[in-house]
Amino acid sequence: MNKIFGIAVIIFTIVSCKEEAKTFVDISNISVNVKIDRFEQQFYTANESNLEKLKSEYPYLFPTQNPDSIWLQKINNREEQLLFKKSQEVFKNFDDEKLQIEELFQHISYYHPTFKSPKIITLITNLDYENKIMYADSLLFVSLDMYLGKNDEVYKDFPEYLSKNYDKSQLTVDIANAISEKFLVKSRNRQFIDDLINEGKKLYLLDSYLPSATDAQKIGYSNDEIEWISLNETQIWTYFIENNLLYSTDAQLNKRFIENAPFSKFYINIDKESPGRVGVWLGWQIVRSYMKNNNVTLQQLLLTNADEIFKKSKYKPKK
């Protein structure tokens, strides 16, 4: 197994970073209204005299059990003021991001006509990496302090496999990811194939919503990681098949191959050369193959169970 993984590097020039064919649709006549409130600009420049006005405008951001002293302390906190300052340097204005979000919302509306653009509120969450984007139908919160650039010193204590995506180039992808959850129909089955296909559906939604984005952006890999997994896709698939993983109900498989991690866990010497989440990649390729080989709509895909998708996908790893 180790030798097979290693040999793949030789053929890099043949398959390096090969992207799936892009599917572009006409969104020119789709009208969306993207409203962006720079809440962080109002909050971190507020004082005791105008705090009450701000609280009345954004009641959902001010729990009533907290006294004003808590908010004033937060406004004047040195670390949060630093994050605010850095966020204003990176996001001097939000014009480019707004254009990207408008295009994203147009694509989502194309595939889901009932979708309504949420109001976007930018804020500082003191490096709350688990809630970079929060979406609740009519509101979408964006934590600007989680997009300052992977090399910013504020992320020095974060592992590299996480901080590599703390860049504003990932912001629209993360928004698309958060919204995609609204349209997924999650299986209650506990087999590993269900988890693989669910992750594949998520990324296929990003294929549809963000046709101009690269595979690396959509899955959150570096170019080197895309290179590695493209070269080793056949060997990874062989490992999954030979170890009878697809229909296993072992909950540890999620931790090994789907959850965010510095590398995937095959329990062989090659592990640390691999990117994390290789199961997500494979699920994505299976769903792509299914959509290529079956005449179904995106909505039909979302309602189709994992076993049927897998069996009708005719998936074969790239040689």
Q: In this structure, which amino acid lies at residue 8?
A: A
Separation of alpha carbons 244 and 311, rounded Å: 16
Chain-centre distance of CA 298, in angstroms? Answer: 19
DSSP state at residue 145: G
Q: The pTM is what?
A: 0.91
Residue of 173, 182, 204, 179 lying closest to 281 (CA atoms):
204
pLDDT band at 7 (very low <50, low <70, confident <90, very high): very low
Question: Edge-to-edge strands of the sheet including 36-38?
Answer: 36-38, 119-123, 139-143, 133-136
The pLDDT, as a whole number, for residue 186 is 82
Taking 50 as the threshold, does the pLDDT of residue 3 lie above it?
no
If one compares 114 and 188, the residue with the highest pLDDT of the two is: 114
Nearest-10 Cα torsion for 185, 32, 138, 121? 120
Taking only the tens place, the pLDDT of each residue in 28-49 is 999 999 999 999 999 999 999 9
Query: What mean pLDDT, rounded, does the chain reach?
Result: 93
Alpha-carbon gap, residue 61 to 38, rounded angstroms: 13
304-306-307 Cα angle (round to 5): 110
| Confidence label for 270 from pLDDT (cuts 50, 70 and 90) | confident
Q: Is pLDDT above 60 for 315?
A: yes
Q: How far apart are CA 185 and CA 257, in angstroms?
A: 21
Q: Which helix (H) or strand (E) holds 316?
A: none
What are the tokens at 135? 């979406």
Calculate mean pLDDT across residues 146-160.
97
Instruction: Name the packing angle between helices 171-180 and 95-111 (round to 10°).
Output: 30
Position 11 scores a pLDDT of 36
Q: At which residue do the structure tokens 């909505």 appear?
A: 299
Given a cut of 60, whether residue 153 has pLDDT beyond it is yes
Q: What is the pLDDT of residue 290?
A: 98
CB 170 within 8 A of CB 191: no
The percentage of residues in the chain with a pLDDT greater than 90, rounded to a whole number, is 89
pLDDT band at 160 (very low <50, low <70, confident <90, very high): very high
Q: Give the pLDDT confidence score for residue 102 in this predicted structure.
A: 98
Q: Please check the confidence at residue 244 and state whether its pLDDT lies above 60.
A: yes
Locus of tokens 């087999």: 191
Beta partners for residue 121, in sequence order: 37, 141
pLDDT for position 13:
35
17-34 burial, b for 16+ CB within 10 Å, e for fewer?
Answer: eeeeeeeeeebeebebeb
Q: Which residues contact 113 (CB under 8 A, 6 or more apart)?
A: none
> Looking at residue 8, what is its pLDDT?
41
User: What span, in angstroms and rounded, lies between the C-alpha atoms of 275 and 296?
Assistant: 32
**pLDDT digits 0-9 by tens, 227-236:** 999 999 999 9
Distance between CA atoms of residues 259 and 205, nearest Å: 19
What mean pLDDT do residues 1-8 have?
44
Helix axes 192-209 and 171-180, enclosed angle (nearest 10): 120
What confidence tens digit (pLDDT) does each residue in 198-210 have?
999 999 999 999 9
pLDDT of residue 92: 93
